[in-house]
Structure 1
């Protein structure tokens, strides 16, 4: 027998191979696109959950941060915030920021750290509370007289009056922290 080497048979083979490869190529491409879309959807879902968690944390810490701002700058409802409330707010904020530190960029934690160190003398000794860097009596008022709470004489020892940070600096540190939190939430002005 003589081999069949006609151009017609070669053309038929190429058409047959292309006929099989085309649907396979389309199927593979479709699978790759679907996989990429699924991955993109997962990333989008994860980012959405992260933003929701950050927003919940913001809802928890923003009122406490604002209470500290009011107390230290003698504005708003500072008369309603006792030294016990200030120490409690610091503890709650420390716990929240340390637990969820890695859900935010480092600049959020750094801004928090700067704000807290401006407000408190944190190195007071083992087992001792941080001391409040503010005055009991100032031109803006007298915490022992003007507060809506009954002043306890022992509270005077909770204040570190030597290195009080100016109100303008407290406001600046607060604003920097809140701006960093806003950026972390993806909120634009």
Structure 2
């Protein structure tokens, strides 16, 4: 049994509704988008009419106003599991403040939080958005750690905050937050909107 299958089974044993929300993606490159407060795999994009297709409640749904800057992209993938965490159809639903989704494959287990709708670029607002995202990631990681006894079958755990391209990357404020995050929970934290599965 592969690490991917072992992790899927372990999660299924610890979350009653996992099979209702888990999706397996086989494309080498795909994207995840936030649509109406829920994370979805983008099935297709139509640039001509600015629409994208996602699966909502088992049905292909076409949505408008596609924005390619509001995606989390997975690149060089083989088999990736996608689990929406919060939102109406998420693993944990509404309630506590959790991250948006997790993905995993045979090598990585990643917690991801979208903060792509941030429009204010003032330093204090950026810091506040980052801190809120980090708190949501910590809550989710703590819950998964508890359910899994912090045993992720030797998968490398990572956390991602997806922010607008206009945010400063690698600035001192972010670096300090990432170091403190790692020191506290021993999980690398990245501010980027893509994951290379190598």
What is the TM-score of this pair, normalised by structure 1?
A: 0.28
Higher strand fraction (1 or 2): 2
Q: Where is the helix percentage greater, Structure 1 or Structure 2? A: 1
The higher radius of gyration belongs to 1
What TM-score, normalized by structure 2, do the two folds share? Answer: 0.27
